[in-house]
Amino acid sequence: MTPANARASQSSTTAAPKPARDRTLFTAELSQALAESRRRDGAWGYYPGRAGRLESTCWALLALARHRGATVDIAPLRGWPAQKGWLIDVPGAPVNVAFNALAAVVLLQHPDGRPLAAPIVSNLVSTQGMALPQSDAIRQDNSLQAWPWIDETFSWVEPTAWSLLALKSARRQGIGQSSAIDVRISAGERLLADRASRRGGWNYGNSNVYGQELWPYVPTTALALMAMQDRRAEAVVRAALQSLQKDSETERSAFALALAAICLRVYGVTASAIESALVDYLELSRSIGNVVGLAMGLYALSGAHDVDGFRL
Amino acid sequence: MLSAGRMMSTASDSRLSRRDFLAAISAAMAAGCWRKAPFDRHAFTVPARSAVGLFAATSYSADLADIIFRGFQELGVNVAGRRVFLKPNMVEYEPGTAINTHPAVVAGAIAACRRGGAAEVVVGEGPGHRRDIEYLLSSTGLYDALREERVRFVDLNHDDVKVVPTKSWYTDLRDIALPVSLLQSDFVITMPKLKTHHWAGITCSMKNLFGVVPGAVYGWPKNVLHMRGVFESILDLTATIQPHLTIVDAITAMEGDGPIMGKPRQLGFVAIGSDLPAVDATCARVIGLDPAKVPYLPPASGYLGNIDTRRIDQRGESPDRFAARFELIPSLEDLRLPDR
């Protein structure tokens, strides 16, 4: 029975509630599982035994560092294959802009990571999604150019959120040409504002198609909110924060709940109910060996509430 | 009303419309522009005749393993000793809708493959819309079904990948990264849900292959395919992957604004065949669409399979038994068969 079904069953019976798990013990188990799934070359695949990939490695590094209360270990990224300033996730495949931005965020959390992050930051400044003609079918401004997943495609919420986080971190640390970074940050923020759902939050990219409002999703909303954390007075951000808290009650998985918990921590909002649910849902991540799910979960459940590496 | 989002991108607008795509292909053929076709003619052989089986299944509680296995026997499908890869359609979850291939059909196919002597059965999908695989697995019920069947699930969005050459070039893509679990299997079965599709007209065996393109490489919603053209991508993916079989969940299909926002429509059959264009053309006719107007089917008939009824041998039930007039969004009305 999946956690979702288990929760439904629990709610429909009078059975005694499951005792809360010891959080310290649980996170120690997650940490051990994550450490054991590390490859010999120091990277992590998306699943144990798989090829090392950029996203899973970044999340595992962040999670283990946070759980141990240590500085993030950037050694695996230092030796990562690179080309023209980009880290190469899959040789022969297009450069993944979003996960390079995530890598920059990780590198910028370590004093020695700044020189390694600088070329990525420079590439992010010069990368933009394609502008397209306006479409009657879709309510959005297609001229806005933020960040695509891969080159020569359209801009989407996730790569834009990661790129904004990377550039805002770089700007704070004085890396890169500040005026150029400001221009790109402004473009990214305009795109997120344009693509926000009217009820608050973000779908993957389009907010209204053929006259129908598209659902915001928890993971995309959490990421976009993290990218817009320095704009929290804006209406679009306030609405998204409300949407995130509400949708986290129903859209449940380790991936969604972990990102929601991390985002709420960045915003200084208590997320104990989400964290409790996350503990349950991480069982599925563990059973299928989902490294990113485990790492996000460990990151979300570890460390002090008033400190977070994603906080700008 | 809020919707779950669509597997579309504004990028689609930058490519050819359905009508333009057909016109362009017709014009190119008439003018002899494609002296060199966008595929290697020697690499493809369209069979003289293709068998398509439609097998009645009134509900998901029917003995689907038996129905599918009888289909295998009737069509001469041999999976003995094969490592079978089942690729269902899992896009989004919303209670009471008919978005995804039903887990009971997947379980039935697993049992039928085992009864047929398959050496291994693996199930995999890479949702093109929702990135959150755990949410989809648990909410759709597929996780429970696979656990009961003790079958491994592969998250195709995050599998190891290998860059392979494409075998046709309508998209101009000369290579594409594909999941190794798919490439390492030796019998690929595409398992779509039969639905209308607001861009492609119909989503069935061939369009279902969008789900094998790894999101962790190309992003969500697999934007590169939309940028390169939906029809073109359907053709190139089918040519490159060349699935061995399709098992279509048309027990409850979707009409109207598919592939996500449409309405469930009871049809009551499972379609099986090894010629994907032939199966898709048959399913299109059943729901009232003219395969000759579904943009990717006429070019597919030039190298991937048959769409002409005169070259399709119907097995099982007659398509007339299930014939329906599906509700279509206005922009798809021109695809309708004249007699529907």
Say which range, A269-273, A285-289, B127-131, has the weakest mean pLDDT: B127-131
Among A90, A214, A256, select the one facing B3 at the smallest CB separation.
Answer: A214
pLDDT at B27: 58
What is the 3 state secondary structure string of B23-85?
Answer: HHHHHHHHCCCCCCCCECHHHCCCCCCEEEEEEECCCCCCCHHHHHHHHHHHHCCCCCCCEEE
pLDDT at B8: 39
The Cα diameter of chain A in Å comes to 61
Per-residue pLDDT of A126-158, as tens digits, reads: 999 999 888 887 788 999 999 999 998 999 999
User: Distance between CA atoms of A151 and A137, rounded to whole angstroms?
Assistant: 24
Give residues 289 to 308 of A whose Cβ lies within 8 Å of B: 290, 292-293
pLDDT at B23: 67
**CA B13, B16, B22 angle in degrees (round to 5)?**
145
Instruction: Quote the percentage of chain A above a pLDDT of 70.
Output: 94
Tell me, what DSSP letter sits at residue B250?
E
Q: Taking each helix axis as running N to C, give the angle between helix A54-68 and helix A291-301, from 0 to 180 degrees, rounded to the nearest 10.
A: 30
Q: Per the omega criterion (within 30 degrees of 0), is the bond before A17 cis?
A: no
pLDDT at A135: 84
Per-residue pLDDT of A150-185, as tens digits, reads: 998 999 999 999 999 999 999 999 998 899 999 999
Cβ of A137 within 8 Å of Cβ of B131? The answer is no
Task: Please state the length of chain B.
Answer: 340
Cβ of A281 within 8 Å of Cβ of B134? The answer is yes
Is pLDDT above 60 for A47? yes
Q: Is A150 on the interface with B (CB under 8 A)?
A: yes
Residues of B with Cβ-Cβ distance to A247 under 8 angstroms: none
pLDDT at A143: 94
Residues of A with Cβ-Cβ distance to B155 under 8 angstroms: 46-47, 288, 290
User: Distance between CA atoms of B72 and A81, rounded to whole angstroms?
Assistant: 47
Q: Decide: B139 and A8 in contact? Cβ < 8 Å.
A: no
Task: Give the H or E element holding residue B187.
Answer: strand B187-191
pLDDT at B162: 97
Nearest to B160 by CA among B141, B178, B146, B136: B178
Alpha helices in chain B (DSSP H): 18-30, 64-75, 103-115, 133-140, 142-149, 180-184, 215-218, 223-228, 230-241, 276-286, 297-301, 319-322
Q: Decide: B207 and B226 in contact? Cβ < 8 Å.
A: no
Among A46, A154, A281, select the one facing B10 at the smallest CB separation.
Answer: A154
Q: Decide: B230 and B199 in contact? Cβ < 8 Å.
A: yes
Minimum Cα–Cα distance from A139: chain B residue: B10
CA end-to-end span of chain A, whole Å? 40
- pLDDT, mean of each 10-residue run, chain B (340 residues): 37 52 60 68 95 98 98 98 98 92 98 98 94 93 96 97 97 96 98 95 97 95 88 97 98 95 96 98 98 97 97 98 96 92
User: b or e along A32-59 (b: 16 or more beta carbons within 10 Å of the residue's beta carbon)?
Assistant: ebbeebbbeebbbbbbeebbbbbbbbbb
pLDDT at A9: 36
Is pLDDT above 60 for A10? no
Radius of gyration of chain A (CA): 19
Q: Decide: B157 and B133 in contact? Cβ < 8 Å.
A: yes
User: Distance between CA atoms of B58 and B63, rounded to whole angstroms?
Assistant: 10
Q: Decide: B187 and B79 in contact? Cβ < 8 Å.
A: yes
Tokens of A194: 């344009």
Per-residue pLDDT of B129-138, as tens digits, reads: 888 999 999 9
Radius of gyration of chain B (CA): 18
**Left if phi > 0, otherwise alpha if psi is -120 to 50, otherwise beta: which for A187?**
alpha
Minimum Cα–Cα distance from B8: chain A residue: A206
Give residues 225 to 264 of B whose Cβ lies within 8 Å of A: 227, 257, 261
User: Distance between CA atoms of A201 and A217, rounded to whole angstroms?
Assistant: 7
Give residue B295's Cα distance to chain centre: 15
Nearest to A33 by CA among A298, A299, A261: A298
Burial bucket for residue B32 (CB in 10 Å: 0-12, 13-18, 19+): exposed
Residues of B with Cβ-Cβ distance to A209 under 8 angstroms: 3, 5-6, 8
Cβ of A154 within 8 Å of Cβ of B9? The answer is yes
B1 Cα to chain A: minimum distance (Å):
6
Per-residue pLDDT of B142-165, as tens digits, reads: 999 999 999 999 999 999 999 999
Is pLDDT above 60 for A16? no
Is pLDDT above 70 for A2? no
Q: What does residue B191 show for φ and ψ, rounded to 5 degrees?
A: -125, 75
Q: What does residue B163 show for φ and ψ, rounded to 5 degrees?
A: -85, 120
Q: Decide: B272 and B71 in contact? Cβ < 8 Å.
A: yes
Return the amino acid letter for B152. Answer: R
Residues of B with Cβ-Cβ distance to A138 under 8 angstroms: 10, 13
User: Distance between CA atoms of A204 and A157, rounded to whole angstroms?
Assistant: 6
| Rounded alpha-carbon distances, angstroms, from residue A234 to A147, A182, A240, A265 | 22, 18, 10, 19
For the whole model, what pTM was predicted? 0.91
Q: What is the mean pLDDT of chain A?
A: 92
Q: Which residue has the tokens 């695996």?
A: A76
User: Distance between CA atoms of A269 and A267, rounded to whole angstroms?
Assistant: 6
Per-residue pLDDT of B80-119, as tens digits, reads: 999 999 999 999 998 899 999 999 999 999 999 999 999 9
E-state strands within chain A? 82-83, 86-87, 208-209, 212-214
The ipTM estimated for the assembled molecules is: 0.90
Q: Decide: A170 and A121 in contact? Cβ < 8 Å.
A: yes
User: Distance between CA atoms of A220 and A203, rounded to whole angstroms?
Assistant: 6
Q: Decide: B293 and B335 in contact? Cβ < 8 Å.
A: yes
Tokens of A149: 């997943």
Cβ of A132 within 8 Å of Cβ of B135? The answer is no
Q: How many CA atoms lie within 13 A of B294 on its CB side?
A: 33
Please give the torsion angle defined by the CA atoms of residues B222, B226, B232 and B233, in that order, rounded to the nearest 10 degrees: 10
Handedness of CA A103, A229, B9, B206 (dihedral sign): positive
